[in-house]
């Protein structure tokens, strides 16, 4: 087509296959494009004009016809025949082998299996927990554990913890993610066919996904990303098929409704696995909005038809996903109906829906003399607490904290402070009850220790700022107290539970929310998420804040008792929240917790490094093997290059359009531009939002975007090779596949925890930022078969060939400085070398570590010394200074004194004095030696020299 030819694309469906030229007008459904970039609009067929027919058929040749694999024309674009099914079956066999090879290796906990395997345990025990991810993927993992016969008695607590001995069905639990990873391969094949690209491209794309190392690693472990990427690919396939039907004029047909509904269900599934699925919703939403916009501007579409399109998309793409998402939480709440370690994240009302966390009804009316338990509103509802321990600094008075559990030290008595000259105590059990109203001045007496809640102009122990005052317990029996004990009750207008107008001005249990203002300084009783040090038992700090936030200064009374209240007095309890209230509360907690994951991790990374594969994640290290999450560099970099190439060429075409060229109006270029633009937008929506996040991010967050980048690479490949012979296209695809398979094989030891040598590892470090440890591998592959692996929960085999001894390294927590993604980075656990594998060495280590020169002429067989087979300690093993007590920093001590403390006394104890035998040595320890006179004279001279020194 000449770039100067005047064009109009009114009735040209970009999604329709380009057929042979025709001279007769044809009936065609009006469409704006495919994949949601454009969509069908009207049910009425219209007549294509002669100009449009000429436009559509202009410059059509062999390169733009629908040619299939081998050069034969496919009659039905996007449809599969017997040949395609046979090819797909062969690809599936390859994918089965690649995905499921050695699925049982490694046989211990790997990286985030700590979390997601642990969640399966809690599901099976029905113990409530809190996680930042929605429940679908975790429920499917639990289902696989249940099918495998898992009893939930394995805690998945530590990376490297053995699966074999406790009989965990970990292979079954890994099998389901692996199957979904395998299913992504045919999804890719079908998606490329639905995009109306060539069969050779579909084979290439599906095999690229099959041999992508990062996708393989994620799908072989008990992790969530395999579920996420699978449902992302499933959503994409259904949406493209829907758009094709919409473009072909088959709106509101059964297949049209089916694919639209399946798109909605898939959207619900992808967002129910991880909130990253919101990016997939944004992708479909962007396409839908553009469809509706183009339909609105189409004069052939009546308002009634437009409303039908709008309603259908609203029902299937909004209502269905939300319903599916909420259904997953309904199942989540139904299973987790018992109190667990996630209770503290939820409100008190939520907690009391769980078995084992309820309480009996309590009296509603609160008066002077009432014994109450006061809870904080905002920070997971801890109790106002005191105990018989003092602050180490400041006033050194009794500590006041916030404690999350029920305890006798949470009980306070409300005392009237309006009479300053009153007695030290009153017989509250005999006096008639007098209600506490808003504005009343009160004192809070701690029932157990008889101290009063007190504040003064002293800085708190942790929050040492001028606007915060210390809160303490002060007083003693018989002391009436002072003005610093006085607080004014300010009841908030908002009540808890159902509306209770009385609770707005009169203090009532579980209904009134109130603040306590210090009468002298004007500060408010306040708590926040700041923990006290060990001396405060890591309980939450309580202060008196002059500028508090409203939520953190609100309190309420949970339990209340008074001797003068009759048994039949009005009682209240927590109101049980509805499903919707629990649903919204849990999602709000998930959002806040997710946003709060800002601590750095040893292997986190930022989004700008993902497309170039700057670094990976160390998942597991044990037995001289390693699992390291790294992508296939050939696939990774090729897909990134395809994105850059398309954006560059697209920008060049825009510049050329300003100069009068009409490249984008050519049917072939317009078709490929339609596909590429959709895939680039999908890639950008799954990648660019991560730049706005400040939380911990890892390489695996890029995997959904990588999927679209691979599809874009396939589209670019299809366009570049569209002008060459089909056989040549196959050959070019084969070259790309060979490179990808070679790359997969080269880094497969990191994917499958296979044997690798240090030399091969060093050659595999193409980038300096790839931080997998080559020192953890053997020097020779033969050493993997010569030395059996040691099976233990936390034992990492290490072979020292220099000394010929086989020792084991006991890792306290994890074999690498790998931590859970929700935890801050700590110093790696100290490694301790323990005794050699096999029989214990019975030779006792001498108590003194000072070097003793051997006796001249002595023979080992004469003195009865057994060969020391210990492994060296550290890199400088063998030097006397290494094993000296003053320099000893831990490590193997031969069992001589495991509890030895390196203090000053021990240093003196273990120091050998010059000229004396080692401490603990006796005459019987050293056999007598017969010396001649010359030797005796030499020995005496040496001893005299030592004494003179």
588-597 pLDDT tens trace: 999 988 888 8
**Residue 757 DSSP SS3:** strand
Nearest to 115 by CA among 819, 830, 824: 819
Distance CA 37, CA 167 (A): 52
The pLDDT score that the predictor gives to residue 466 is 81
Asked if residue 155 lies in contact with residue 118, where contact means CB atoms within 8 angstroms, the answer is: yes
| Span 134-158, average pLDDT | 93
Per DSSP (E only), the strands in 712-869 are 795-800, 805-811, 831-833
Q: Where residue 743 falls among pLDDT bands split at 50, 70, 90?
A: very high
Looking at residue 188, its pLDDT comes to 97
What's the pLDDT score for residue 103? Answer: 93
Tokens of 778: 């053997």
Lowest mean pLDDT among 436-445, 567-576, 833-842: 833-842
Q: How far apart are CA 22 and CA 219, in angstroms?
A: 50
703 within 8 A of 632, measured Cβ to Cβ: no
Tell me which DSSP letter residue 901 carries: -
pLDDT surpasses 60 at 75: no
- Residues 29-49 have a mean pLDDT of 43
Burial class (CB in 10 A: 0-12, 13-18, 19+), 634: buried
Tens digits of residue pLDDT in 450-503: 888 999 988 888 887 888 899 999 888 777 778 888 999 999 988 887 777 888
Residues of the chain with pLDDT > 70, as a percent, come to 74
Query: Cα(676)–Cα(684) distance, rounded to whole angstroms?
Result: 12
Mean pLDDT of the chain: 78
- Structural tokens at position 35: 């994949």
Per-residue pLDDT band for 35 (boundaries 50, 70, 90) equals low
**Count of H-run helices and E-run strands, the chain:** 24, 21
- Residues, the chain: 949
Q: Are 244 and 258 in contact (CB under 8 A)?
A: no
Is 570 in contact with 365 (CB distance < 8 Å)?
yes
Q: Is the pLDDT of residue 173 over 90?
A: yes
Answer whether residue 780 shows pLDDT above 60: yes
SS3 486: coil
Query: What pLDDT is stored for residue 480 in this prediction?
Result: 73
The answer to whether the CB of 946 falls within 8 A of the CB of 925 is no
* pLDDT reported for residue 655: 92
Higher-confidence position of 881 and 943: 943
Number of neighbours of residue 103 by Cβ within 10 angstroms: 16
Please tell me the predicted confidence (pLDDT) of residue 247. 87
**What's the mean pLDDT in 415-430?**
73
Rounded-to-integer distance, Cα 622 and Cα 777, Å: 10
CA distance 850 to 885: 9
User: What is the pLDDT at residue 784?
Assistant: 84
681 close to 283: Cβ distance less than 8 angstroms: yes
Distance CA 443, CA 419 (A): 11
Burial class (CB in 10 A: 0-12, 13-18, 19+), 424: exposed
What is the 3-class SS of 26-48, one letter each residue? CEECCECCCECCECECCCCCEEC
Asked if pLDDT for residue 510 goes beyond 80, the answer is yes
Residue 504 has a CB neighbour count (10 Å cut-off) of: 17
Gap between the Cα atoms of 543 and 518, Å rounded: 11
pLDDT in tens, 693-723: 888 899 999 999 999 999 999 999 999 999 8
Cα gap 424→417, rounded to integer Å: 11
**Predicted local confidence at residue 341, as pLDDT:** 86
Give the tens place of pLDDT for each residue, 840-879: 333 333 333 334 444 444 444 343 434 433 333 333 333 3
Residues in contact with 588: Cβ distance below 8 Å, sequence separation at least 6, in sequence order: none
Which pLDDT belongs to residue 406? 85
Cα dihedral across residues 163, 134, 378, 493: positive or negative: negative
CA–CA gap between residue 264 and residue 324 (Å, rounded):
9
Q: What is the pLDDT of residue 946?
A: 54
Say whether pLDDT at 911 is over 60: no
| pTM for this prediction | 0.73
So what's the pLDDT on residue 931? 52
CB atoms inside a 10 Å sphere around CB 287: 25
Whole-angstrom distance, CA of residue 733 vs CA of residue 133: 39
Q: Which residue has the higher pLDDT, 504 or 786?
A: 504
């Amino acid at each position: 087509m000449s770039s100067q030819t005047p064009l109009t694309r009114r009735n040209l469906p970009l999604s329709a296959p380009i057929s042979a030229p025709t001279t007769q007008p044809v009936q065609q459904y009006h469409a704006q494009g495919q994949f949601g970039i454009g969509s069908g609009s009207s049910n009425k067929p219209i007549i294509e004009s002669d100009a449009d027919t000429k436009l559509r058929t202009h410059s059509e040749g062999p390169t733009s016809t629908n040619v299939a694999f081998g050069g034969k024309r496919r009659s039905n674009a996007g449809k599969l025949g017997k040949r395609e099914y046979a090819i797909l079956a062969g690809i599936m066999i390859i994918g089965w082998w690649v995905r499921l090879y050695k699925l049982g290796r490694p046989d211990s906990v790997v990286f985030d299996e700590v979390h997601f395997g642990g969640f399966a345990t809690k599901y099976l025990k029905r113990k409530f927990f809190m996680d930042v991810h929605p429940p679908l993927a975790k429920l499917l993992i639990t289902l696989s554990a249940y099918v495998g016969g898992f009893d939930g008695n394995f805690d998945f607590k530590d990376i490297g913890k053995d699966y074999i001995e406790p009989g965990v069905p970990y292979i079954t639990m890994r099998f389901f993610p692996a199957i979904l990873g395998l299913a992504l391969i045919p999804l890719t094949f079908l998606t490329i066919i639905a995009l109306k690209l060539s069969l050779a491209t579909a084979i290439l794309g599906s095999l690229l996904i099959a041999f992508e190392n990062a996708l393989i690693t994620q799908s072989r472990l008990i992790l969530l990303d395999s579920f996420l990427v699978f449902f992302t690919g499933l959503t994409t396939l259904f949406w493209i098929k829907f758009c094709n039907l919409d473009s072909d004029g088959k709106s509101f047909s059964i297949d049209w409704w089916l694919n639209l509904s399946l798109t909605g269900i898939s959207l619900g599934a992808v967002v129910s696995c991880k909130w990253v699925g919101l990016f997939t919703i944004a992708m479909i939403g962007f396409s839908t909005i553009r469809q509706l916009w183009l339909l609105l501007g189409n004069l052939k579409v009546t308002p009634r038809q437009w409303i039908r399109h709008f309603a259908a998309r609203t029902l299937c793409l909004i209502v269905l996903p939300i319903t599916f998402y909420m259904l997953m939480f309904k199942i989540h709440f139904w299973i987790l109906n018992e109190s667990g370690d996630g209770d503290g994240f939820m409100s008190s009302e939520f907690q009391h829906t769980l078995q084992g966390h309820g309480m009996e009804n309590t009296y509603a009316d609160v008066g002077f003399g009432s014994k109450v338990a006061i809870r904080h509103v905002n920070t997971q509802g801890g109790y106002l607490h005191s105990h018989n321990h003092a602050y180490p600094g400041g006033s050194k008075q009794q500590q006041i904290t916030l404690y999350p559990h029920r305890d006798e030290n949470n009980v306070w008595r409300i005392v009237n402070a309006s009479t300053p000259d009153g007695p030290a105590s009153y017989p509250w059990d005999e006096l008639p009850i007098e209600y506490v109203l808003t504005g009343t001045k009160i004192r809070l007496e701690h029932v157990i220790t008889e101290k009063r809640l007190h504040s003064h102009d002293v800085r708190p122990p942790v929050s040492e700022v001028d606007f915060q005052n210390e809160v303490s317990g002060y007083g003693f029996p018989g002391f009436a107290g002072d003005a610093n004990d006085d607080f004014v009750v300010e009841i908030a207008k908002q009540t808890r539970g159902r509306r209770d107008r009385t609770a707005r001005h009169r203090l009532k249990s579980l209904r009134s929310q109130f603040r306590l203002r210090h009468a002298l300084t004007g500060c408010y009783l306040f708590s926040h998420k700041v923990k006290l040090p060990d001396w405060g038992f890591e309980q939450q700090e309580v202060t008196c804040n002059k500028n508090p936030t409203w939520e953190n200064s609100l309190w309420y009374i949970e339990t209340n008792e008074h001797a003068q209240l009759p048994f039949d007095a009005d009682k209240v309890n927590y109101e049980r929240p509805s499903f919707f209230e629990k649903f919204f509360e849990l999602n709000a907690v998930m959002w806040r917790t997710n946003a709060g994951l800002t601590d750095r991790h040893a292997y986190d990374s930022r989004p700008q490094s993902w497309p170039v594969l700057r670094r990976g994640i160390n998942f597991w290290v044990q037995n001289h093997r390693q699992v390291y999450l790294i992508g296939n560099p050939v696939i990774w970099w090729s897909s990134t290059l395809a994105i850059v190439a398309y954006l560059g060429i697209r920008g060049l075409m825009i510049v050329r359009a300003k100069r009068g060229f009409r490249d984008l109006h050519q049917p072939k270029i317009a078709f490929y531009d339609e596909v590429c633009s959709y895939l680039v937008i999908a890639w950008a929506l799954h990648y660019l939002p991560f730049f706005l996040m400040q939380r911990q991010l890892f390489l695996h967050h890029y995997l959904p975007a990588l999927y679209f980048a691979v599809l874009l690479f396939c589209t670019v490949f299809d366009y570049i090779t569209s002008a060459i012979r089909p056989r040549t296209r196959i050959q070019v695809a084969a070259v790309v596949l060979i490179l990808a398979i070679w790359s997969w094989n080269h880094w497969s030891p990191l994917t499958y925890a296979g044997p690798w040598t240090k030399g091969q590892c060093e050659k595999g470090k193409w980038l300096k930022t790839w931080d997998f440890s080559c020192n953890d591998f053997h020097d020779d592959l033969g050493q993997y078969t010569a030395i059996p692996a040691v099976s233990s929960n936390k034992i990492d085999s290490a072979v020292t060939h220099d000394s010929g001894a086989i020792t084991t390294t006991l890792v306290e927590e994890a074999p690498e400085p790998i931590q859970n993604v929700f935890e801050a980075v700590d110093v790696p656990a100290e490694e301790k070398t323990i005794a050699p594998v096999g029989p214990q060495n019975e030779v006792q280590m001498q108590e003194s570590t000072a070097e003793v020169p051997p006796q001249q002429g002595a023979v080992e067989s004469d003195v009865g010394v057994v060969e020391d087979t210990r492994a060296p300690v550290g890199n400088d093993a063998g030097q006397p200074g290494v094993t000296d007590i003053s320099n000893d920093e831990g490590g193997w001590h031969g069992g001589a004194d495991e509890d030895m403390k390196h203090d000053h006394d021990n240093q003196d104890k273990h120091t050998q004095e010059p000229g004396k035998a080692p401490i603990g040595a006796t005459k019987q320890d050293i056999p007598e030696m017969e010396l001649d006179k010359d030797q005796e004279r030499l020995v005496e001279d040496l001893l005299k020299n030592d004494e003179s020194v």
